[in-house]
Chain A
Amino acid sequence: MSKNVKIRRGANIKLEGAAALQTTTAEMASSYALKPADFHGLVPKMLLKEGAEVKPGTPIFHDKSDDRIKFVSPVSGEIAEIVRGEKRRILEIRIVADKDQQAPSVNTIDLSTGDGVKESLLSNGYWPFIKRRPYDIMAKPDESPKAIFVSCFDSAPLGADLNYLLNDQYAHFQAGLDALAKLTAGKVNLGVRSGNSGFASKSTNVVKNTFSGPHPAGNVGIQIHHVDPINKGDVVWTVDAQAVSMIGRFLTTGIPDFSKTVALAGAGVKEPQYINTIVGANMSSIINGRIKDGDYRIISGNVLSGDTVAGDGYLGFFPNVVSVIPEGKEQQFMGWLAPNFHKFSLSHAYFSWLMPSKKYNLNTNLNGEDRAYVMSGQYEDVLPMDIYPVHLIKSIMTNDIEKMEALGIYEVAPEDLALCEFACTSKTPVQRLVRQGIDTAIEELG
């Protein structure tokens, strides 16, 4: 049964540099990388060594806890370097791409059963696109989720317009949905923007729930909470909309093809637009010549919960957007006192609330210093969940597992509380704490 949900609490942060609805294709990057850190909690076990030749779809490593879950090369080339960090933890597996890409081998896929689909996704590197709640981590193949959720719009600041991005991929998207439907005894739920369901309007074999209201209405965690909340013992899976279409493309053609489109957006981009690229591409292929001179931060993902990457770093596995915003290292004289018409605040202590349609060029300045909690009610105003966020965070700070469980650790992902972190007067690292709480919960509650 589909639901119409009106999200009331939340906030849209209007930033300069939204991507125009046009797409160019990035040149082939010289190198690509897989980053195990994109998959929280993953311990990789290498299957190939440096110097090995790979083709698109060649497994490079698997999940140490489940060797069925393969992570594959997105391109053809040679494994150039395995970059390790502390305790020899693998940070990046870099692949130097061939100038002339070799064609991948075509798989025959058994689409008739759930097991056939599962097997194809696992061995061809598509499984990691599927995440599970609780905990927002990679799905476990043996679990049977009570439902699968796909959010069909991105409400985050500078988020990609999925209606544009997936406009002509209806068939692949549908193929992906049909395959996912075989993996759950429940339903595949789509979360669509009320009045603007776009590419998802023709989708069948799904339950469509409509959402209206501000960010984080497009976050799949918020949508699950309002449609079919996660209780103790429940498992649901979530898949990003573009990933569904990539899965569908693979299952239809049998060809491992990790090309995708990302929005290149933000005040630091000369002409914000959409870019065709490939998962794990070197960022320079996306940004070179396209961003302005100056001190900018490049974020693989959105400005609220993406990862900072260097200009020669790599695009992550999941993001549909690359954000480029100015660094904010300047000090401001008596900045806490000045009227600051150019600054944005959800509180009414600045004037931005009187100019609701103005777009802002926000930088990465923390705008203050880390403090103990003083203000109350700020988190509640931007978290449209029946959860007391401050109390949840405090239970995480004090490592009180029972409280964490009772207060909703199963339902939240860091991205769902990203606006709380944005709004916090005391500059509390909310997303880090949520992640920490989730890690504790995985350890103690399983």
Chain B
Amino acid sequence: MKLLKNVFDNLRPNFEEGGKFERYYKAYEAMETFAFVPGHVTHDGAHVRDAIDLKRTMFLVVIATIPALLFGMWNTGHQHFLALGQFMELGDGFMDKFLFGAMKVLPIVIVSYAVGLGIEFGIAVAKNHSVNEGYLVSGMLIPLIMPVEVPLWMVAVATAFAVLIGKEVFGGTGMNILNPALTARAFLFFAYPTKMSGNLVWVSTEGQATVDGYTGETLLAQSINSSTQYIDQAGASYSSVADTIYAAFMGWVPGSIGETSTLAILLGAAILLFTGIGSWRIMLSFLLGGLSMSYIFNMWGANPFMDVNPILQICMGGFMFGMVFMATDPVSAAQTNTGKWIYGFLAGFLGIMIRVFNPAYPEGIMMGILFMNVMAPLIDHYVVEANIKRRLKRATVTA
């Protein structure tokens, strides 16, 4: 530690004013403050400050994604071997599955971080502002919502788009309107739909011969045709809806890398709720919104997708991941407590609505959240206006 401190102390003069690399001071500062919480003291205002800072906040979110990431790695391998008819039992070939998945997933994570952080550092140096910690989270979320077969160059392009257009043009972390990770996914979805949807992208078969009956369809895609009959990647039918729900809850079904396992995501949710970083208001209202839309569709029942069991509906696809990690992004969500209830409810509600009404957009949750990201400032505006009106009324009441 002393050694590292000395390294930084020796390097610092190069980056300070008049040093060789003074232009890159902000990049140096980011590295140093990452290693050592700086010795900055308060100058005015409160003399003591809360121990919380943005680095810890963001890092705790990254920790919360780890269950989903690890499960995603295993599941990538599991789906792969299932499609090939190998290691058919869940417990079989654990390490083979995990390593296969890790080989597939880690490059995506690395590309996402390398491109995103590269741009963040570049812009920080160019604009001479501090490197913000926001991308620590976005960089992890982007891989988790990608199909495993997404080409790496697309990850790079999408990341660049998300950071530049989704965030930096608005002024950087804290100023963005849309959730950057969802922006990346939406960009790919509309720019390269064949690589982001359909039946070929969710399971990595690497062109090898698959078992009979293999389709590569996700549960969402199957729901278009039937709300009761589902098959897994090996072509075997689930015995009942409850069985399907169990598989979707545990997450051994095809889907984007990190969003299949409701259980792993709920572990992350527990971390976010325990630490108070994720808004329970948004999570709860999002869940209620999704469930109520599902029940409304159940009553309507015009097509198989509408008949899908509400519990299955929320365990499938990106609903849970969106609820826990996307909708709760504090920057793009509503910021008032009342607004959070409205925002969360509508995001869940619209997410299921889009998913069911337009099966061409199998991931309606993404659209629902992005739509509500855009609407969040409006919701807040009316909540604040109501406060202003209430406060004005107070004057006439007491007078």
Q: Which residues of A contact B (CB under 8 A)?
A: 13, 15, 157, 228-229, 231-232, 297, 299, 303-306, 308, 323, 325, 327-337, 340, 343-350, 352, 362-377, 380, 386-388, 390-391, 406-408, 414, 418-419, 421-427, 429-432
Contact = CB atoms under 8 A, between A and B. Distances in A.
Contacts of A364: 41-42, 47-48
Contacts of B171: 372
Given A344-B51, A421-B46, A367 B39 contact: no
B91 interface: no
Interface in B317-340: 330-331, 333, 335-337, 340
B335 A332 contact: no
Contacts of A376: 279, 330, 333, 335-336
A336 B36 CA distance: 8
Interface string B42-57: 1011111111111111
A422 B50 contact: yes
A297 B43 CA distance: 11
30 contacts: A228-B398, A231-B399, A297-B47, A308-B47, A329-B41, A330-B39, A332-B36, A337-B59, A340-B51, A344-B50, A344-B51, A349-B57, A349-B277, A352-B51, A364-B41, A364-B47, A365-B37, A366-B40, A366-B42, A367-B37, A368-B53, A369-B53, A370-B130, A372-B132, A373-B331, A376-B279, A380-B336, A388-B336, A423-B52, A425-B54
Contacts of A388: 336, 383-384, 387
Contacts of A349: 52, 56-57, 60, 275-277
A306 B275 contact: no
A329 B394 CA distance: 47
Most buried by A among B35, B50, B279: B50
B302 interface: no
A428 to B, nearest CB: 9
Contact of B331 (A344, A345, A374, A380): A374
Interface stretch (B81-89, B147-155, B158-166, B172-180): B172-180
Nearest to B175: A372
Contact of B48 (A304, A390, A407): A304
Contacts of B59: 336-337
B337 A380 contact: yes
Contacts of A363: 41, 48
A299 B392 CA distance: 38
A34 B332 CA distance: 49
Contacts of A390: 335
B50 A386 contact: no
A331 B46 contact: no
A426 B46 contact: no
Contacts of A323: 47
Nearest to A408: B391
A157 B48 CA distance: 10
A18 B277 CA distance: 32
A158 to B, nearest CB: 10
Nearest to A330: B39
B277 to A, nearest CB: 7
B308 to A, nearest CB: 33
A305 B45 contact: yes
A422 B277 CA distance: 17
B395 A232 contact: yes
A366 B41 CA distance: 5
A387 B388 CA distance: 9
A422 B49 CA distance: 5
Contact of A328 (B41, B44, B335, B380): B41
B4 interface: yes
A425 B275 CA distance: 14
Given A304-B48, A334-B37, A374-B134, 7 more contacts: A331-B5, A366-B42, A375-B57, A387-B391, A421-B49, A424-B50, A431-B45
Nearest to B387: A388
Given A345-B50, A421-B45, A377 B388 contact: no
Question: Which of B4, B36, B132, B172 counts the most A-chain CB atoms under 10 A from its CB?
Answer: B36
B172 A372 contact: yes
B36 A430 contact: no
A386 B274 CA distance: 27
A362 B57 CA distance: 20
A373 B52 CA distance: 13
Contacts of B90: none
B47 A325 contact: yes
B81 to A, nearest CB: 36
Contacts of A297: 47
A389 to B, nearest CB: 11
Nearest to B273: A348
Contact of B45 (A232, A352, A407, A430): A430
B1 interface: yes
Nearest to B45: A431
B60 to A, nearest CB: 6
A16 to B, nearest CB: 12
Contacts of B52: 345-347, 349-350, 367-368, 423, 425
A214 to B, nearest CB: 15
Contact of A425 (B40, B53, B175): B53
B276 to A, nearest CB: 4
B54 A426 contact: yes
Contacts of B37: 331-332, 334-336, 365, 367-368
Interface in B48-79: 48-57, 59-60
Contacts of A303: 46-48
A113 B50 CA distance: 49
A377 B335 contact: yes
A327 B52 CA distance: 18
Contacts of B130: 369-371
Given A304-B46, A305-B46, A427-B49, A365 B40 contact: yes
B284 to A, nearest CB: 14
Nearest to B49: A367
B229 interface: no
B33 interface: yes
Given A303-B48, A369-B53, A347 B275 contact: yes
B35 A374 contact: no
